Amino acid sequence: MGIGVGVFLIAAGAILTFAVHTSVSGISIQAVGIILMVAGALGLIVSMTIFAPRRRDAVLDDRAVAPTTTRERVVERHDVY
């Protein structure tokens, strides 16, 4: 489940819980909406905690940074006119 699916489930659950006022025999639409909101929130949290660090590492691996052996810092000054 991705971030988009989690947000969609939260939105669909909120619509069923707060905006729909019809009754269906045997099913509580408000309970289904709450279940969808909880499932979407859990999916969103899992997506953010598990998959976000992996994506962040992939971005750092793509950068071509030469390793430095010393802790010297080179500062270049450019005059702007």
3-class DSSP assignment, residue 21? coil
pTM of the model: 0.60
pLDDT value at residue 54: 58
pLDDT value at residue 72: 67
Per-residue pLDDT tens for 20-56? 888 888 988 999 999 999 999 999 998 888 876 655 5
pLDDT level of residue 57 (50, 70, 90 thresholds) = very low
Please classify residue 40 by burial: count the beta carbons closer than 10 Å to its beta carbon, then call 0-12 exposed, 13-18 middle and 19+ buried: buried
Q: In the chain, where are the structural domains located?
A: 3-60
